[in-house]
Amino acid sequence: MAALGARCWAALPTRLRQLWALPVRRALAADAGDGKAAQARPAFTDEAVQALLYKMTGLDLHKVFRPVKKGLKPPHYKLMTEAQLEEATRKAIEEAKTKLIMPPVLKEREPIDDVLAEDKVLEGTETAKYVFTDLSYSIPHRERFIVVREPNGVLRKATWEERDRMIQIFFPKEGRRVIPPTLFKDENLGTVFQQDRHEDVLNMCIAQFEPDSPDYIRVHHRTYEDIEKHGKYDLLRSTRHFGGMVWYLLSRKKTDGLLIDMINRDLLEDATSLITLYHMLHPECQSAKEAKDGKLQGVDLIKVFVKTESQREGYIQLALQAYEEAMATSSAS
Amino acid sequence: MVQLGSCLLRGRGGNVVIRFALGGCTNRPFFRIVVANSRRPRDGKYLEQLGCLDPLPNAHGEKVAGLNLERLRYWLGCGAQLSRPAEKLLGLAGFLPLHPMTVTAAERLRRQRQREQQPEASPADSTAGPGTDTAPGTDTAP
């Protein structure tokens, strides 16, 4: 019984597969077809894309290592020389990099619909269905046999929801509940968003759901939509969710708000990386062609992009003007 | 680890069986699927636990059962016997073919239900001829 949905995992490079604890792909002739699709359109997992997204995420140590609610302990002070302080900062940056690894962005999984046996004789004998789980310790969860015997005698493979529930019952994972909390229903998400707790919602979502489950994708999209509507991009900056949010906005071409926010905060490099990514994702658009012809850099790239692709041209022009004035006054003084 | 199955023989025999051990509380049964010497008490010391079965349906209307198939195959390879309920459960799971008694019980139940339906039908239906008793489909004996 091959791993279900093997196709969607096949396009990931080996480094990320090992990082996200997925079975490492063995070279097969059949994979040649997937390579062509990846070259035509850049995927979330390409090295270049990941590098740009990581640069945009930023590395604010104070936010990454902000106090997490734990048991009360008195603060711990150390006396250090300059060299030791630098060493400690370097180690902190390394740790922060591991905390900023982006969670996977995958397509929604195909529903399982496979009947193993039909025994009409059993119809009417039982009132409830039986769910059988294979508890062998050494099989990966994706390859585990979980079958359901219905009251009408049909023996079928379990659906993804049943699978997740059974695996959580027998092999519990920390932070995950058997029945997903009511927080993740659409009506309750709005309340949490009003309290500006988007990052907490996303962390809980990663703990609770599998990355290719429809609930995970729905919660993430809802969060990104809310952030984009209210312009609260800074909530996710310097967290591991920033890359996913940028990817979502880029694929739907809703980058104007983010661009304005970046220019207002004087993050010109991030703005240029955003537009570079946009051109990588949508190479057929006009600004991409102009940029490639003219090999534009920096502010010129933004100006070309603003003229051709953006909806809120006026706002972005204003922001750019304000930025240039600020630069002029700061360089003059 | 030394297997103690043979040491428990004590000159009277006894074999290794895979059976259900009952646990839980009053009005709340819970079965553990267990490998044990047949001469041990039902809930006594066992060699290994291979799984569990919750006979009461949960909130989603399903009876949850877990089976460690890898170890089950090992013990069956060692020559363990299965108790009848264990065989029936494995037949339902699809690991073994469906137990003939499951099929027989299903057919008996169906025949009984038809017989119950007929006395209700015939007083209501006075013009009914000598029993429109359709025999339950041709039994294809395995």
Q: Do B61 and A129 touch (CB under 8 A)?
A: yes
Share of chain A above pLDDT 90, in %: 33
Higher-confidence residue: A295 or B136?
Answer: A295
Residue B94 domain-assigned (yes or no): no
User: Could you report the per-residue pLDDT of B18-63, keeping only the tens digit for each?
Assistant: 999 999 999 999 999 999 999 999 999 999 999 999 999 999 999 9
List of chain B residues whose C-beta atoms are within 8 Å of the C-beta of residue A127: 57
Chain B residues with at least one Cβ partner in A under 8 Å: 51, 57, 59-71, 92-94, 98, 102-103, 105-107, 109-110, 113
Query: CA-CA distance, A301 to A278, in Å (whole number)?
Result: 12
The model's pTM is 0.75
What letter would DSSP give residue A141? G
- pLDDT of A22: 55
Residue B66 domain-assigned (yes or no): yes
List of chain A residues whose C-beta atoms are within 8 Å of the C-beta of residue B71: 136
What band does B84 get if pLDDT is binned at 50, 70 and 90?
very high
Higher-confidence residue: B55 or A31?
Answer: B55
Residue B88 domain-assigned (yes or no): no
Q: Chain B: give the shortest CA distance to residue A209, in Å.
A: 19
Give how far Cα A174 sits from Cα of A95, A204, A206, A207, B7, Å. Answer: 21, 11, 12, 8, 42
The answer to whether the Cα torsion of B110, B116, B117, B118 is positive or negative is positive
Measure CB to CB from residue B94 to each of A122, A133, A147 and give the nearest one: A147
Give how far Cα B12 sits from Cα of B3, B17, B38, B47, Å. Answer: 18, 16, 12, 19
What CATH number does residue B48 fall under? 3.30.1320.10
Q: Chain A: give the shortest CA distance to residue B68, in Å.
A: 4
Chain A residues with at least one Cβ partner in B under 8 Å: 116-117, 119, 121-125, 127-138, 145, 147-149, 155, 162, 165-166, 169-170, 179
Give how far Cα A268 sits from Cα of A253, A302, B11, B109, Å. Answer: 19, 9, 88, 77
Smallest CA-to-CA distance from A188 within A144, A153, A218 is with: A218
Residue B70 domain-assigned (yes or no): yes
User: A126-142 burial, b for 16+ CB within 10 Å, e for fewer?
Assistant: bebbbbbbbbeeeeeeb
Tokens of residue B76, six digits: 């069956």
Whether the predicted pLDDT of A291 surpasses 70: yes
Q: Do B63 and A128 touch (CB under 8 A)?
A: yes
User: A98-123 burial, b for 16+ CB within 10 Å, e for fewer?
Assistant: eebebbbbbeebeeeeeeeeebebbe
Query: CA-CA distance, A15 to A209, in Å (whole number)?
Result: 23
List of chain B residues whose C-beta atoms are within 8 Å of the C-beta of residue A131: 62-65
- pLDDT of B4: 57
Residue B126 domain-assigned (yes or no): no
Query: How many folded domains does chain B comprise?
Result: 1
Report the chain A residue with the minimal C-alpha distance to residue B113.
A124
List of chain B residues whose C-beta atoms are within 8 Å of the C-beta of residue A136: 68-71
Whether the predicted pLDDT of B88 surpasses 50: yes
Report the chain A residue with the minimal C-alpha distance to residue B102.
A122
Q: Do A137 and B61 touch (CB under 8 A)?
A: no
Q: Do B66 and A132 touch (CB under 8 A)?
A: yes
What band does B7 get if pLDDT is binned at 50, 70 and 90?
low
Pair type for strands B16-25 and A154-157: unpaired
Residue B107 domain-assigned (yes or no): no
- pLDDT of A330: 85
- Domain span holding position B39: 5-83
Strand segments, DSSP code E, in chain A are 115-118, 129-134, 146-149, 154-157
What band does A331 get if pLDDT is binned at 50, 70 and 90?
confident
**Strands of B81-82's sheet, edge to edge?**
A115-118, A154-157, A146-149, A129-134, B62-67, B48-53, B28-37, B16-25, B81-82
Backbone angles phi, psi at A51, to 5 degrees: -60, -45
Q: Do A149 and B110 touch (CB under 8 A)?
A: no
Q: What share of chain B is helix, strand, coil (3-state, %, to 5)?
A: 35, 25, 40
> Looking at A155-159, A200-204, A256-260, which range is the least confident one?
A256-260
Report the chain A residue with the minimal C-alpha distance to residue B103.
A121
Please answer whether residues A57 and A245 qualify as being in contact, where contact means their C-beta atoms are separated by less than 8 angstroms. Answer: no
Residue B37 domain-assigned (yes or no): yes
Q: Do B106 and A145 touch (CB under 8 A)?
A: no
Higher-confidence residue: A219 or A272?
Answer: A219
Rounded mean pLDDT, A86-102: 89
Q: What is the dihedral of CA A200, A201, A204, A208, to 10 degrees?
A: -170
DSSP 3-state assignment of B84?
Answer: helix
List of chain A residues whose C-beta atoms are within 8 Å of the C-beta of residue B59: 179
Answer yes or no: is the ipTM higher than 0.85: no
Query: CA-CA distance, A197 to A239, in Å (whole number)?
Result: 13
| AA letter at A127 | T
Q: Do A134 and B63 touch (CB under 8 A)?
A: no
List of chain B residues whose C-beta atoms are within 8 Å of the C-beta of residue A166: 64
Smallest CA-to-CA distance from A240 within A281, A269, A199 is with: A199
Residue B64 domain-assigned (yes or no): yes
